[in-house]
Amino acid sequence: MSQKIVIVGGVAGGASAAARARRLSEESEIIVLERGAYVSFANCGLPYHIGGDIPDRNRLLETTPEQLGKQFRIDVRIRNEVLAIQPLDKTVEVRNLETGTVYRESYDALILSPGAEPVRPAVPGIDHPNVLSLRNMDDMDRIIRALEGKTHATVIGGGYIGLEMAEALRHRNIATTLIQRPNQVMNLADPEMAMPLNQELQLNGVDLRLGTEVVAYDPATNGLKLTLNTGETLETGVAILAIGVKPETSLAQAAGLTLGPRGGIQVNDRMQTSDPSIYAVGDAVEVMDWVTRQPALIPLAGPANRQGRIAADVIFGRDSRYRDTQGTAICKVFNLAIGMTGLSEKAAKRAGIPVEKVYVHPFSHASYYPGASQLSLKLVFEPVSGKILGAQAIGADGVDKRIDVLAVARGAGMTVFDLEELELSYAPPYGSAKDPVNMAGFVAANVLRGDVKPCYAADVINLAPQCVLLDVRTAEEAMTGTIPGALHIPLDRLRERVGELSKEKEYLVFCKVGQRGYTACRILSQNGLNCRNLSGGYLTYQRTVGETSVQPALPSTPANQIVAEKTDRTDSITPVKIIDACGLQCPGPILQLKQALDDVKPGEAVSIRATDPGFVCDVPAWCNTTGHQMVHVSPGDKGSYLATVIKRAAETPGPVTSGKRAMTNVVFSDDFDKAMAALIIANGAAAAGYEVTLFFTFWGINMLRKSGPVVAKKNLIEKMFGIMMPKGPDKLTLSKMNMGGLGLAMIKGIMKKKSVMTLPALMAQAQASGVRMIVCTMSMDLMGIKKEELIDGIEEGGVAMYVDHLSRSGAGLFIA
Ligand code: FAD
> Is the CB of 670 within 6 Å of ligand 1?
no
Report which of 185, 180, 186, 173 is spatially closest to residue 237, judged by C-alpha positions. 173
Classify the C-alpha dihedral 805-806-810-813 as positive or negative: positive
Find which of 381-395, 573-587, 712-726 is predicted with most confidence, using mean pLDDT: 381-395
Give the position, in ligand 1's atom list, of the atom nearest the Cα of 38: 9
Lowest-confidence pick of 248-252, 347-351, 781-785: 781-785
Classify the C-alpha dihedral 707-713-715-716 as positive or negative: positive
> Is the CB of 328 within 6 Å of ligand 1?
no
Q: Distance (Å, rounded) from C-alpha 482 to C-alpha 455?
A: 17
Please name the residues in contact with 683: beta carbons below 8 A apart, sequence gap of 6 or more.
484, 762, 765, 766, 769, 771
Q: Distance (Å, rounded) from C-alpha 694 to C-alpha 678?
A: 8
Sorting pLDDT into bands at 50, 70 and 90, what band is 808?
A: low
pLDDT at 552: 38
For residue 275, is pLDDT > 50?
A: yes
Full 3-state SS string of 528-547: CCEEEEECCHHHHHHHHHHH
pLDDT at 762: 85
pLDDT at 721: 79
Helix (H) or strand (E) holding 246: strand 245-247
H-only helix segments in 498-638: 515-526, 537-549, 559-572, 588-599, 615-626
Tell me the per-residue pLDDT of 715-742, one tens digit each, with 9 for 90 and over.
777 777 788 889 899 889 898 887 778 8
H-only helix segments in 25-60: 46-50
Residue range 624-629: mean pLDDT, rounded:
80
Q: What is the bridge-based pairing of β-strands 4-8 and 109-112?
A: parallel
Give the position, in ligand 1's atom list, of the atom nearest the Cα of 41: 2
Sorting pLDDT into bands at 50, 70 and 90, what band is 753?
A: low
Report which of 113, 34, 32 is spatially closest to residue 74, judged by C-alpha positions. 32
CA of 655 to the centre of ligand 1 (A): 67
Q: In sequence order, what are the beta bridge partners of 111? A: 7, 279
> Is the CB of 165 within 6 Å of ligand 1?
no
> Is the CB of 586 within 6 Å of ligand 1?
no
For residue 481, give the 3-state DSSP assignment: coil
H-only helix segments in 293-344: 301-315
Q: How far is CA 379 from CA 360, 376, 403, in A?
A: 9, 10, 10
Tell me the per-residue pLDDT of 114-163, one tens digit each, with 9 for 90 and over.
999 999 999 999 999 999 999 999 999 999 999 999 999 999 999 999 99
Q: Is 114 exposed, middle or buried (0-12, 13-18, 19+ CB in 10 A)?
A: buried
pLDDT at 595: 87
Residue range 413-430: mean pLDDT, rounded:
97
> Is the CB of 249 within 6 Å of ligand 1?
no
Give the position, in ligand 1's atom list, of the atom nearest the Cα of 285: 52
For residue 746, is pLDDT > 90?
A: no
Q: Is 201 exposed, middle or buried (0-12, 13-18, 19+ CB in 10 A)?
A: buried
pLDDT at 587: 64
* pLDDT higher at 708 or 106: 106
Report which of 255, 244, 216 is spatially closest to residue 232, judged by C-alpha positions. 216
Q: Distance (Å, rounded) from C-alpha 119 to C-alpha 241?
A: 8
Q: Known catalytic residue: 582?
A: no
Q: How far is CA 681 from CA 176, 350, 665, 811, 812, in A?
A: 32, 37, 9, 12, 11
CA of 132 to the centre of ligand 1 (A): 17
For residue 478, is pLDDT > 80?
A: yes
- Strands (E) across 325-416 are located at 329-333, 336-342, 356-360, 375-381, 388-395
Please name the residues in contact with 242: beta carbons below 8 A apart, sequence gap of 6 or more.
118, 133, 134, 155, 156, 157, 159, 161, 162, 165
Residue range 261-289: mean pLDDT, rounded:
97
Give the position, in ligand 1's atom list, of the atom nearest the Cα of 13: 51
CA of 354 to the centre of ligand 1 (A): 35
Residue range 500-518: mean pLDDT, rounded:
96
Q: Taking the chain, what is the end-to-end CA distance rounded to the nearest angstrom? A: 87
Tell me the per-residue pLDDT of 325-339, one tens digit each, with 9 for 90 and over.
999 999 999 999 999
> Is the CB of 718 within 6 Å of ligand 1?
no
Q: Distance (Å, rounded) from C-alpha 298 to C-alpha 293?
A: 13
pLDDT at 270: 97
For residue 788, is pLDDT > 90?
A: no
Asked if residues 608 and 579 have their Cβ atoms less than 8 Å apart, the reply is yes
For residue 264, is pLDDT > 70?
A: yes
> Is the CB of 114 within 6 Å of ligand 1?
yes
Helix (H) or strand (E) holding 146: helix 137-147
For residue 646, is pLDDT > 50?
A: yes
DSSP string, 180-211: ESSSSSSTTS-HHHHHHHHHHHHHTTEEEEET
Mean pLDDT computed over every residue of the chain = 89
pTM for the full predicted model: 0.76
Catalytic site residue from 44, 467, 521, 586:
44
Q: Distance (Å, rounded) from C-alpha 284 to C-alpha 266?
A: 9
Asked if residues 85 and 278 have their Cβ atoms less than 8 Å apart, the reply is yes
Q: Distance (Å, rounded) from C-alpha 559 to C-alpha 169?
A: 10
CB half-sphere exposure, 594, CA atoms < 13 A: 14
Q: Distance (Å, rounded) from C-alpha 765 to C-alpha 234?
A: 40
Asked if residues 213 and 224 have their Cβ atoms less than 8 Å apart, the reply is no
How far does Cα 781 stand from its chain's mean position? 52
3-state helix vs strand vs coil in the chain, percent to 5: 35, 25, 40
Tell me the per-residue pLDDT of 288-309, one tens digit each, with 9 for 90 and over.
987 778 899 999 999 999 999 9
* pLDDT higher at 500 or 618: 500
> Is the CB of 247 within 6 Å of ligand 1?
no
Query: Per the omega criterion (within 30 degrees of 0), is the bond before 587 cis?
Result: yes
CA of 33 to the centre of ligand 1 (A): 14
For residue 527, is pLDDT > 90?
A: yes
Asked if residues 7 and 18 have their Cβ atoms less than 8 Å apart, the reply is yes
Amino acid of residue 370: P
Report which of 289, 169, 209, 213 is spatially closest to residue 563, judged by C-alpha positions. 169
Tell me the per-residue pLDDT of 1-10, one tens digit each, with 9 for 90 and over.
789 999 999 9
Give the position, in ligand 1's atom list, of the atom nearest the Cα of 136: 36
> Is the CB of 92 within 6 Å of ligand 1?
no
CA angle 778, 783, 785 (to 5 degrees): 85
CA of 304 to the centre of ligand 1 (A): 9
Asked if residues 139 and 133 have their Cβ atoms less than 8 Å apart, the reply is yes
> Is the CB of 801 within 6 Å of ligand 1?
no
Which value, to the nearest 10 degrees, does the dihedral of the CA atoms of residues 774, 777, 780, 781 take? 180
pLDDT at 751: 78
Residue range 584-608: mean pLDDT, rounded:
85
CA of 11 to the centre of ligand 1 (A): 6
Length of the chain: 816
φ and ψ of 402, to 5 deg:
-70, -40
Lowest-confidence pick of 192-206, 657-671, 696-710: 657-671
Closest-CA residue, ligand 1 atom 38, reads 44
Q: What is the bridge-based pairing of β-strands 336-342 and 388-395?
A: antiparallel
pLDDT at 765: 81
* Percent of the chain scoring above 90 in pLDDT: 67
Report which of 350, 365, 357 is spatially closest to residue 429, judged by C-alpha positions. 365
Closest-CA residue, ligand 1 atom 15, reads 114
- Strands (E) across 724-810 are located at 772-776, 795-797
Report which of 407, 404, 431, 436 is spatially closest to residue 420, judged by C-alpha positions. 436
pLDDT at 652: 39
